[in-house]
Amino acid sequence: MTATTQPTALAAGFRRHVAVHPDRIALTIGRRHVTYAEADATARRWATRLLQACSDGDGRPRRVGVFAHRSEPAYLGVLAALYAGAAFVPLNRKFPLGRTRTMLERADLDALIVDRASAAQLPELLAGMARPPALLLPGDDSPADSSALGVPVLGAADLGRAPELRELPETGPDDLAYLLFTSGSTGTPKGVPVTHGNVRAFLDTNQARYGITPDDRFSQTFDQTFDLSVFDLFMAWEHGARVCAMDPIEILAPAKYLERNGITVWFSVPSVAAVLRRRGGLKPDTMPTLRWSLFCGEALPRATAEEWQAAAPNSVVENLYGPTELTIACSAYRWDSATSPADCVHDNVPIGRLYPGLHGLVVDEGLAPVADGATGELCVAGPQASPGYWRAPELTAERFFEHAGRTYYRTGDLVRRQGADLVCLGRNDQQVKVGGHRVELGEIEAVLRRAGAAEAVCLLWPDDSAVTAVVTGPLPASDLADAAARALPAYMVPKAVHVRDELPVNANGKIDRGALRQWLGTRTATLA
């Protein structure tokens, strides 16, 4: 099946540009450049082996994990999964092994593409699994004996000998393109399935907005378990542009990298820019190659937008907003140095207007629309909305609802309309953003209770960059902190754990978080 007969397929744009300009560079990692033709050939060989190693009865795998980080398998593995007609499921070796295994098991993978640096975790990761996935190890010439892992194992030599898959399985707009896991309040990650049609709607809207050309070069700052990485990869590849994968040192000192590589499109969480600002790294006119500077994932402070604009004077600065359930981003606000400072609320940049084709409601607790200009929860319907949570019908029913013939997703974000734009005023639940990552405080609390805390309350304190836990029970704070570090990604681990004899409650018998904040402030002042 050719790209022209599958216009909705996520990889269709990439395949189209293979034919148009095969020798252009699609991917840069360090000093390694991969052309469109090279990436296509590799993905087709790996897709052949995926189809041979696993299928669900109709000749194709369903879901393929990509257990790799800023390597060729990390990016080309995504293409291979899509070429094989499967959804890709990104996994992160930096996460605690138990969390990764939970994601792997819940995704029910048919295959797992693993880079060399992640392969050492495989024996422990797969031990005792009832149905372990087939393994593709493109960075290993002599992979572990398959009998030891109990699954087929294909190494670099075997993958290199594979014929290129010529006829790709057909995928439609309702087929899954990828499955991502986000923090869950029950103590385990929750899966968000995103269809080819969801991503196609996003890509089409953003191309109309940004006019990407083959001459553009995209920064790639996000881990692939963060859905914003899909923007980098497929907005670039859809239009024949280049993706430049940056390492952490380059991300936090980007000026020289951007100039050396001619980066034209920057995309990151605002906290990256805030760190640069605090370090004095946003000097005026230091990022002249940029034509778009995009931020998403958390609130964008006014001062950060101002200093970034001065550092990248030739770029347009935009603040994007959107949860994973609405496919990467669903609204945008364009910064104007002359007028935007007056639009900011609580010194944060507005989240702007919903994309064309999306429908928004601002509702009260009973899901009734509020008066124009009043504060309420933002709910969004349209072609970018996920079909629901992965194998979780009760959670889907809780977060999605029908209204006037449309299915709306409840974002949990409190907003109000300010003229034509939306401004975000916080959350109506225990979900927060830490370094751009969505975090359910309830998940951290559940981990602490399982580790032995009688009660556990987590909150952002002393600022939005840190989670602090207050617990009761017999275990020392250090033991609970160690348990959290073993179970959670680094960005979710509490920066401090405080033990109290009991937790304060309000008149309704609920835990008084305001009183806890006051207690933490007093405790800090006393210790100082």
What CATH number is attached to the domain comprising 297? 3.40.50.12780
In angstroms, the CA 22 to CA 275 distance is: 38
Residue 212 lies in a domain: no
Q: What is the CATH number of the domain that holds 498?
A: 3.30.300.30
In angstroms, the CA 182 to CA 179 distance is: 10
Residues contacting 103, CB < 8 A, separation 6+: 89, 91, 181, 189, 191
Domain identity same for 86 and 124: yes
Residue 17 lies in a domain: no
In angstroms, the CA 154 to CA 141 distance is: 9
Three-state SS at 103: helix
Are 441 and 410 within 8 A, CB to CB? no
Tell me 70's DSSP state.
Answer: S
Q: Pairing mode, if any, of strands 134-137 and 111-114?
A: parallel
Domain identity same for 291 and 279: yes
Domain identity same for 410 and 443: no
pLDDT at 170: 92
In angstroms, the CA 377 to CA 364 distance is: 6
In angstroms, the CA 199 to CA 88 distance is: 13
Structural domain boundaries enclosing 280 = 246-427
How many folded domains does the chain comprise?
Answer: 3
Q: Pairing mode, if any, of strands 316-321 and 176-182?
A: unpaired
Residue 463 lies in a domain: yes
Copy the structure tokens of residue 390: 């992965």
Tell which residue, 74, 14, 67, 76, has the closest CA to residue 46: 76
In angstroms, the CA 137 to CA 73 distance is: 9
Domain identity same for 468 and 415: no
Cβ count within 10 A of residue 152? 17
Enter the pTM of the model.
Answer: 0.88
Domain identity same for 345 and 455: no
Residue 59 lies in a domain: yes
Tell which residue, 3, 7, 8, has the closest CA to residue 43: 3
Number of H helices, E strands in the chain: 18, 26
Residue at a domain's end among 376, 411, 427: 427
In angstroms, the CA 406 to CA 365 distance is: 19
- Which H or E run includes 65? strand 63-67
Residue 374 lies in a domain: yes
Residue at a domain's end among 171, 195, 219: 195
In angstroms, the CA 166 to CA 446 distance is: 48
Tell which residue, 182, 110, 106, 191, has the closest CA to residue 387: 191
Instruction: Please identify every stretch of the chain with a pLDDT value under 70, giving residue numbers as ranges.
Output: 1-6, 55-58, 142-148, 507-510, 524-528
Are 182 and 190 within 8 A, CB to CB? yes
Tell me 120's DSSP state.
Answer: G
The mean of the pLDDT values for the chain is: 93
Are 358 and 325 within 8 A, CB to CB? no
Domain identity same for 56 and 160: yes
What is the amino acid identity at position 378? L
pLDDT at 143: 63
Domain identity same for 50 and 147: yes
Residues contacting 248, CB < 8 A, separation 6+: none
Residue 4 lies in a domain: no
Tell which residue, 408, 516, 412, 504, has the closest CA to residue 468: 516
Side-chain-side CA neighbours of 280 within 13 Å: the count stands at: 0
Domain identity same for 70 and 127: yes
Domain identity same for 458 and 394: no
Domain identity same for 450 and 513: yes
In angstroms, the CA 11 to CA 32 distance is: 22
User: 162 in the Ramachandran plot: left (φ > 0), alpha (ψ -120 to 50) or beta?
Assistant: beta
Handedness of CA 192, 110, 196, 263 (dihedral sign): positive
Residue at a domain's end among 427, 457, 487: 427
Domain identity same for 350 and 444: no
Strands (E), 336-454: 353-354, 359-363, 376-381, 400-403, 406-418, 421-427, 431-434, 437-440
Are 439 and 467 within 8 A, CB to CB? yes
What is the amino acid identity at position 364? D
Residue 157 lies in a domain: yes
Residue 173 lies in a domain: yes
Are 100 and 188 within 8 A, CB to CB? no
DSSP string, 318-356: EEEE--GGGSS-SEEEE--TTTHHHH-BTTB---BEEPT
Domain identity same for 462 and 379: no
